[in-house]
Amino acid sequence: MKIAASRVDQFIRSPDPDVRAILIYGPDGGLIRERSDMLARQIVDDLDDPFRVAELDPAALKDDPARFADEAAAIAMTGGRRVVRLRSAGDRQAIVIADFLSDPLGDSLILVEAGELAPRSALRKAFETSKIAAALPCYPDEGSALGKVIGETAAALGLTMEPAALRYLAAVLGGDRLMTRSEIDKLALYMGDETLVTLAHVGPVSATPLSSPSTASPLPPPAATWRQSSAAWRGPILRARWRFPCCAPRRAICSGCTLWRGRRRVAIRSTGRSNPSVRYYTSN
């Protein structure tokens, strides 16, 4: 069955008991993993339990296609229902999965994680046309939905967001749900005993360093002179491939982007529109 994006959260809270296999796909890898974990924990408390959770990948099925059905039909030695997780799936695994859906064995819950799939994808069709399967799309958080994720994550950590700080974070986060939550976790560590998050804590013009709230440390010089690190930013200039959520639609990186890395603020400057490589400066 095909689940609309607007109904995915409702489905996860109360899955159809007749559904044996669930495809979780889309461009947001972090959201895929989060939703897959939520579904798995409804069956198994400990996702590291080797008796009740089986992890598969395309390479394993290529060598032994029958293993998928074997794992689905297996009975846990310690009792209880099992979860079979297939990660990084694609159309090459569609035949194996379709065969299982036509004659399912056992009672295991099958969770299949995949990236972006076209509407004509054989894997998508296998799940969308089956009465005992469901396909859940996962798209990047945007607009009010992204603000809600940031706000809820911050609230769970005891933080209160000022509107300006929330707007700024919503502008630079959102391409990956787990990355968004990770950055808020790091922000909570930086805040220490403070609970009110302002633009001064997260904004691109903040003069407050991440390493020590008691000492001031400016951000790198303006974009025109960023190639020269100042005395306060003599850290190594590193190169890395990165794609930022706020810039992904135009495949370029905003010259004013900042990102949290541990307890340090990282300032980013694009090195080209077609190549998402970036230079970033780290404080000493």
Q: Look at residue 247 and tell me whether its pLDDT is greater than 90.
A: no
Residue 201 has pLDDT above 90, yes or no: no
Instruction: With beta carbons less than 8 A apart as the criterion, state whether 12 and 39 touch.
Output: yes
pLDDT exceeds 60 at position 176:
yes
Q: For 264, phi and psi rounded to 5 degrees?
A: -125, 145
For the four alpha carbons of 89, 2, 80 and 49, in that order, the dihedral sign comes to: positive
DSSP string, 47-75: TT-TTTEEEE-HHHHHH-TTHHHHHHH--
Using the Cα atoms of residue 179, residue 9, residue 5 and residue 88 in order, give the sign of their dihedral.
Answer: positive
- Most confident stretch, 110-119, 172-181, 218-227: 110-119
| CA proximity to 177, closest of 38, 7, 76, 20 | 38
Among candidate residues 219, 202, 211, the one with its CA nearest the CA of residue 269 = 219
- The set of residues, in sequence order, having a beta carbon less than 8 Å from that of 61 and lying 6+ positions away, is 67, 68, 86, 93, 96
Which pLDDT belongs to residue 145? 87
pLDDT of 216 strictly over 60 = no
190/210 Cα distance (integer angstroms): 6
What per-residue confidence (pLDDT) applies to 203? 67
Q: What percent of the chain has pLDDT over 90?
A: 57
CA separation, residue 28 to residues 77, 137, 138, 156, 243 (Å): 35, 9, 6, 22, 13
Q: State both tokens at 175.
A: 């391409």
Please give the average per-residue pLDDT across 114-124, as a whole number.
95
Q: Tell whether the model's pLDDT for residue 218 goes beyond 70.
A: no
Q: What is the mean pLDDT of residues 253-275?
A: 41
* Strand 264-270 to 258-261 pairing: antiparallel
Q: What is the pLDDT of residue 113?
A: 97
Report how far residue 89's alpha carbon sits from residue 85's, in angstroms, rounded to the nearest whole number.
10
Distance of CA 17 to the CA centre of its chain: 26
Write out pLDDT tens, residues 96-115: 999 999 999 999 999 999 99
Min mean pLDDT across 80-89, 130-139, 146-155, 170-179 is at 170-179
Mapped onto helix, strand or coil, the DSSP state of residue 258 is strand
The first and second tokens of residue 199, run together, are: 């633009």
* Average model confidence (pLDDT) across the chain: 77
pTM comes to 0.66
The stretches of the chain forming alpha helices (DSSP H) are 8-13, 29-41, 58-63, 67-73, 94-102, 122-128, 143-156, 163-172, 177-191, 199-202
The pLDDT of residue 227? 34
CB 33 within 8 A of CB 146: no
- State the average pLDDT over residues 52-78: 94
What domains can you pick out in the chain, each with its CATH number? 5-137 (3.40.50.300), 141-203 (1.10.8.60), 209-284 (no CATH)
